[in-house]
Structure 1
Amino acid sequence: MGRQSLPLSLYDRRPPSSAKLLWAGKNPGVSTSLSPISSPARAKWDLRGQLVRGERAGSLLIHGDAGKALDELLATTGEQSVAGAVKLCYIDPPYNTGERFAHYSDRTDRAEWLTALHDHLVTARQLLAPDGSLWLHLDDSEQHRARCVLDEVFGEDCFVATIVWQKRTTRENRKAFSSMHDYIHVYAPAGPKAWKKVRNGLPDEGAFSNPDDDPRGPWRSIPMSVQAGHATSSQFYSVVTPTGVHHAPPPGRCWAYTADRLAELDAQGRVYWPSGGNGKPRLKRFQSEVTGLAPFTIWPADEVGDTGSAKRSLLSEFPDRQAFDTPKPLGLLERIIEIATDPGDVVLDYYLGSGTTAVASQRLGRRWVGIEQSLRTIEEFALPRLGAAWDAFPGEGFAFAQI
Structure 2
Amino acid sequence: MKNIIEKYRLRYDKLNSYGEKKSNNIIIHGDNRIALDLLKDKYKSSVKCIYIDPPYNNGEVYNHYEDDKEHEHWISEITNVLVSLKELMRDDASIWISIDDSEVHYLKVAADKVFGRKNFVTTIIWQHRTTRENRSTFSNNHEYILVYAKEYQKFKNVRNLLPNTEEVLKRYKNPDNDLRGPWQSVTAHVQSGHAVESQFYEIVSPNGKIHKLPPGRCWAYNKERMEHEIKDNNIWFGRDGNGVPRIKKFLCDKKDGITPQTLWLAEEVGTTKCAKKHILKLFTEGKVFDTPKPETLIKRILEIASNENELILDCYLGSGTTAAVAHKMKRHYIGIERGVQAFNLIVPRLKKVIDGEEEGITEQVQWQGGGGYEYYEVEDIKKDEA
TM above 0.5, yes or no, is yes
TM-score (norm 1): 0.78
Equivalent residue for 2:159, pick from 199, 223, 232: 199
Higher relative contact order (CA 8 A, sep 6+): 2
In the alignment, which residue of structure 2 is the partner of 1:147? Answer: 108
Quickly say closer, same or farther: Cα 1:131–1:278, change in 2 above 3 A.
same
Root-mean-square deviation (CA, aligned residues, Å) is: 3.2
The 3 A distance-change label for structure 1 pair 256 and 324 is: same
State the match for 2:217 in structure 1: 253
Deviation by residue 1:261-284 (Cα, 9 ceiling, x = unmatched): 123334544333422444333222
Residue 158, structure 1, aligned to residue 119, structure 2? yes
Q: Return the letter of the residue paired with 1:364.
A: M
Shift of 1:57: 0.4
Cα 1:263/1:365, change in 2 over 3 Å = farther
Q: CA deviation at 1:255?
A: 1.5
The alpha-carbon distance between structure 1 residues 144 and 317, as it changes in their structure 2 partners (threshold 3 A), is same
- Indicate which of 178, 185, 204 corresponds to 1:240: 204
Aligned residues: 359
Contact 2:353 2:369 in 1 (8 A): no
Are 1:358 and 2:358 an aligned pair?
no
Shift of 1:105: 2.7
Aligned residue in 2 for 1:126: 87
User: What pairs up with 1:28-39 in 2 under 5 angstroms?
Assistant: none
Deviation digits for residues 217-236 of structure 1, max 9, x if unmatched?
A: 53222222212222222222
Cα drift, residue 44 of structure 1: 5.8
Q: Deviations over 1:48-68 (max 9, x none)?
A: 997623464032222222112
Q: Output the CA distance in 1 between the equivalents of 2:20 and 2:230.
A: 54
Give, as a single letter, the amino acid of the residue that structure 2 aligns with 1:195: F
Matched, 1:57 2:23: yes
Partner of 2:281: 316
| Cα 1:148–1:236 shift into 2, 3 Å | closer
Matched, 1:84 2:45: yes
In the alignment, is the contact (CA less than 8 A) between 2:10 and 2:376 conserved in 1?
Answer: no
Do the aligned residues in 2 keep the contact of 1:57 with 1:396 (CA within 8 Å)? no
Aligned residue in 2 for 1:286 = 250
Mapping for residues 3-82 of structure 1, pairs under 5 Å = 52-54=18-20, 56-76=22-42, 82=43
Shift of 1:325: 0.9
Contact 1:355/1:381 (CA < 8 Å) preserved in 2? yes
SS in 1 for 2:289: coil
Give the unaligned 5+ runs of structure 1: 1-28, 30-38, 77-81
SS for the counterpart of 1:164 is strand
Q: Go from structure 1 to structure 2 and tell me whether the alpha carbon gap of 1:45 and 1:215 turns closer, same or farther (over 3 Å shift).
A: farther
Counterparts of 2:216 and 2:228 in 1: how far apart (Å)? 25
Give SS of 2:60's match. Answer: coil
Matched to 2:292, the amino acid is: P
CA distance change for structure 1 residues 67 and 265 in 2, over 3 Å: closer, same or farther? same
- Give the TM-score normalised by the residue count of structure 2: 0.81
Q: What stretches of structure 2 of length at least 5 have no aligned partner?
A: 357-361, 378-386
Q: 1:295 to 1:45 in 2, by over 3 A?
A: same
Q: Is the 8 A contact 1:343 1:366 kept in 2?
A: yes
State whether residues 16 and 375 of structure 2, in contact with CA within 8 Å, keep that contact through their aligned partners in structure 1: yes
Alpha-carbon distance in 2 for matches of 1:115, 1:238: 62
Offset, 1:214: 5.1
